[in-house]
Amino acid sequence: MSTTDWPLWEVFVRSRRGLSHTHAGSLHAPDAELALRNARDLYTRRGEGVSIWVVPAAAITASSPDEKDPFFEPAADKPYRHPTFYEIPEGVKHL
């Protein structure tokens, strides 16, 4: 690792208990501990979070935008997975 080219980390912040961690941004840091501290200083200067995850950027595998349509296609022809697919006689309650 060169001294200037620190690895990239993706930062996820939980804004309060009960909510999931949400991607906030990224930063460079030499190790996980400093990544956490830098993330605190960079992304939670106004109490935006109660918990932070830092993940090495290189550890993330993303789906490709070019394959977006075929990749998600299997869900497209299955409208029966939605409750609105089904016809229910008028007046039937609690269904």
Partner 1 sequence: MATAAAQRTARTPADGAPDTVDTAAYQHAFDAAVAADERIEPRDWMPDAYRATLVRQIAQHAHSEIIGMQPEANWITRAPSLRRKAILMAKVQDEAGHGLYLYSAAETLGTSRDELLDKLHAGRQKYSSIFNYPTLTWADVGAIGWLVDGAAITNQVPLCRCSYGPYARAMVRICKEESFHQRQGYELLLALSKGTPEQHAMAQDAVDRWWWPSLMMFGPPDDESQHSAQSMEWKIKRHSNDELRQRFVDICVPQAESLGLTLPDPELRWNEERGQHDFGPIDWTEFWEVLKGNGPCNEQRITQRRRAHDEGAWVREAAAAYAAKHTGDTGETGATRA
Per CB under 8 A, residues contacting partner 1 are 1-10, 23-35, 41-42, 45-46, 55-62, 64-66
* Closest CB 90 distance from partner 1, rounded Å: 38
51-56/8-14 β-pairing: antiparallel
Q: How far is the CB of 10 from partner 1 (least distance, A)?
A: 5
CB nearer to partner 1: give 20 or 64: 64
Q: From CA 71, how far away is CA 36, in angstroms rounded?
A: 34
Q: Which residue stretches of 15-67 are H helix?
A: 32-43
32-38 long-range CB contacts below 8 Å, 24 or more apart?
35/9, 35/11
Q: Give 45 or 82: the residue with its C-beta nearer to partner 1.
A: 45
Instruction: Give the nearer residue to partner 1 in terms of CB position, either 14 or 34.
Output: 34
Least distance between partner 1 and beta carbon 20 (Å): 15
Report how far residue 6's alpha carbon sits from residue 61's, in angstroms, rounded to the nearest whole number. Answer: 20
